A and B are shown apart, each in its own frame.
Chain A
Amino acid sequence: MNDPGSGLIVTGLRKSFGALEIIKGVELSVAKGERHAVIGPNGAGKSTLFHLITGRFPASDGRIELDGTDITGWSAHQIFRAGLARSFQVTSLFPKLSVFENLRCGAMRNFGAGVSVFRLLDGFRPLAEQAERTMEALGLTHRRHVAAGSLAYAEQRALEIGVAIAGGAHTILLDEPTAGMSRTETERAVALIRKVTEGRTLVMIEHDLGVVFDLADRISVLADGKVIASGPPDQVRGDAAVRTAYLGAAAEVLT
């Protein structure tokens, strides 16, 4: 499972905004095909870490490698083309486009549509089929023509994941996919994530530790801009540093 130079490897990553350093030398290694969760208290820099990996912000220092390729400093669309897709903590869809069109946009690049102005979109059969498949997996087929902006919150969250995975990227980063969902909605989302990330590399930020221990093969704990522990769930659960970092808000959940 752990052949060298494959998967996502982050070394010595740093990011400052002005005088404020948010990410203080993060080391993270996610093997190919692994389900990896990043947890940590609020303000630890989890979302910033995702933004750096996916090219939303340039890193101040450090190196990001995807399957042996150095992707540090690449722009967002280049990183996507290298096979890494992501979702957002704050839902980021195309509000005026329908569910189907949102998913088609998600899959467009990897299903050969390019930016052609000569061929009709409906002529790309595999693209439409992929959008259909994803829509079915999300349970949104009956909402096919509804504009994304008019969907219910949980449906939007599901579509948010759907747009990220529709392109069939081999590595997927999900930023708090279950945030704000009810118990049953969360269960459905976990089942969905399990299903659609089969055979792919998954990195997810998650606050719901139930979801984390249920889904993740390995866990990294981010506190104050550094990874303070990384390993299988049982090992992280027993880690003293993690307990210290989590004292307060989530300590009781860990025990």
Chain B
Amino acid sequence: MKRWAPWIAAAFAALLLPHLFASGFGLSLLNRMGIAIVFALSFNMLLGQGGMLDFGHAIMLGFGGFLAMHAMRLAGLGWFIPTPLLPLVGAAGGLASALLTGWIATRRDRTAFAMITLGLAELVVAVVLMFPSVFGGEEGINGDRSDGPAILGFDFGSQMQVYHVVAVWTWISALLMWRTTLTPLGRLANAVRDNPERVGFLGYDPARVRFRVYVLSGLFAGIAGGLQAINDEIMTSGNIGSEASGAVLLMTFIGGIGTFWGPILGAVLIVLLQVALGTLTDAWQLYSGLLFVAMVVWAPGGLAGILLAHAPVMRAGRLGQLVGHYLRLIPGFALALAGVAGLSELAFRLEAIRGGASTGRIMGLAIDATAAWPWLVAAVLFLAGAALLNRTFPQARAAWQAAAQ
């Protein structure tokens, strides 16, 4: 019963959320989070659980999405294809593309696997652009989700109805992916990640294990693609290309690849960052890139890893000891962050001015990016923050080590 509790709680939360964020903005945020969660979890089936770094994961989402989009257009022509079932079409598309690319890529592991997927990503985008009648060329193809047959009076045109479709599929997909980790294939994926050669001496062909995991991951990525087709009502070559693949790598790793639920954190955080910062500044991509590099170097376990490191402290009831140390990190962190943000925003502003914009405002403040002083202030803020962190961080780490003993 205990292992089902989080899932029941998630179901209740999913029912409650749209009433807390009932605005169009809130709903579109939730929808994008749901799609990102399914996509990131499917990505982590490969990276976190199977040790496969896939630089072309968006291929599977893209094929699922395009197939679902074509089904949506068929529904517009009068075919009986209910909109809520489009993710199933997406799953079929993702599965089919995974069978094809996986057949090549999963023969190899680690660096070679990653490089093959890198080549596949370039290859597939080029091929997609070569067939404009199927993929719509640069513009992509669009559809209307309310064209499908109405079910119980719902035509799935409204954001709220789309939210319920996304929520149900996200819940089902996440549950099924979690269940996969408890099956023989799930355990073998971990074994192949840790030591592919030994798996061979235990009676399994590691390439076959990789292939099966890859295909399954493609199926779920395809579901995410189907959901995206419903939500966006358009699919373009950008959804299938290496940038979309890079985005899911970023969010999954930032969330944490070492646990099942880490990617969910990452998906929620990155979508928030994208949407919240996206209205304020153009620099959110730079911020998520910097966060990613910082995580690779200092916190390879991601956010989930940082949280997990505190589980033993919490069990020992010593979390209180750390609060003081962690609070002392805040000034340095805030200063450094303000410095980095200031520098990036100034640079962005300067570029806009070069492009012909007026001096304008930075995050609502009247600051002239062509003057020297704001740059100096930002640089001083950053250096002061870094200097403070350089003192307080080792203390906090030592405190954590002492508490975790």
- Answer yes or no: A and B touching, Cβ < 8 Å: yes
Chain A contact residues, CB within 8 Å of chain B = 54-56, 75-77, 80-81, 85-86, 88, 92-97, 101, 104-106, 108-110, 113-122, 124, 163-164, 167
Complex CA distance for A48 and B23, rounded to whole angstroms: 68
**Docked complex Cα distance between A96 and B203 (Å):** 20
Asked if A108 and B183 make an inter-chain contact with CB atoms under 8 angstroms apart, the answer reads no
Q: Interface residues of B toward A: which range? A: 20 to 34
Whether A108 contacts B188 in the complex (CB less than 8 A), given A95-B195, A121-B182, comes out as yes
Distance, CA A244 to CA B392, complexed state (A)? 67
Q: Smallest CB–CB gap between B308 and chain A, Å?
A: 13
Known contacts being A94-B191, A94-B195, is A117 close to B185, with CB within 8 Å? Answer: yes
Across-interface contacts of A94 in B (CB, < 8 A): 190-191, 194-195, 198
Known: A117-B212, A121-B182. A77 touches B203 (CB 8 A): yes
Residues 208-230 of B, flagged 1 when their CB comes within 8 A of A and 0 if not, give: 11001000100000000000000
Chain B residues with CB under 8 A of A56:
197, 201
Given A94-B190, A97-B190, A117-B216; A122-B202 close (CB under 8 Å): no
Q: Mark B277-309, 1 if CB is under 8 A from A, else 0.
A: 000000000000000000000000000000000
Contact between chains at A106 and B190 (CB < 8 Å): no
Q: With an 8 A cutoff between CB atoms, is B179 at the interface?
A: yes
Given A95-B194, A117-B180, answer yes or no on A105-B188 (Cβ-Cβ < 8 Å).
yes
Partner of B184, one of A76, A80, A81, A113: A113
State whether A109 touches B190 (Cβ < 8 A): no
Whether the pair A86, B187 counts as a contact (CB closer than 8 A) is no
Q: Known A85-B201, A108-B188; judge A115-B209 contact (CB<8 A).
A: yes
Give the chain B neighbours of A113 by CB distance below 8 A: 184
What A residues does B209 contact at CB under 8 A? Answer: 115
Do B203 and A121 have beta carbons less than 8 Å apart?
no
> Which 6 pairs show the lowest CB-CB distances between chains A and B?
A109-B203, A76-B200, A94-B194, A80-B203, A113-B184, A117-B185
15 contacts between A and B (CB under 8 A): A77-B199, A77-B200, A80-B201, A92-B195, A105-B191, A105-B199, A106-B202, A108-B184, A110-B203, A114-B184, A117-B186, A117-B212, A119-B183, A121-B186, A167-B202
Q: Is the CB of A77 within 8 A of B204?
A: yes
Q: A105 contacts which chain B residues (CB < 8 A)?
A: 187-188, 191, 199, 202
Contact A120 B179 (CB under 8 A): yes
Interface: B232 (CB within 8 A): no
Q: What residues make up the interface of B, taking CB atoms closer than 8 Å to A?
A: 179-180, 182-188, 190-191, 193-195, 197-205, 208-209, 212, 216
Cβ of B208 to closest chain A Cβ, rounded Å: 7
B202 & A120 in contact (Cβ 8 Å cutoff): no
Known: A93-B195, A113-B184, A114-B184. A76 touches B190 (CB 8 A): no
Residues of B within 8 A of A101 (CB): 187, 190
A8 to chain B, nearest CB (A): 16
Contacting pair B205 A75 (CB below 8 A): yes
Quick one: closest B residue to A108, CB to CB? B184
* Contact B185–A167 (Cβ < 8 Å): no
Whose C-beta in chain B lies nearest to the C-beta of A101? B187
Q: Which residue in A97, A120, A167 is a CB contact (below 8 Å) of B191? A: A97
- CA distance in complex: A101, B194 (Å): 12
Residue on A nearest B184 in the bound complex, by CB: A113
Nearest residue, chain A, Cβ from B192: A94
A81/B203 contact (C-beta < 8 A), A92-B195, A92-B198, A117-B216 known: yes
Report the bound CA distance from A106 to B203 in whole Å: 9
Cβ of A118 and Cβ of B183 under 8 Å apart? yes
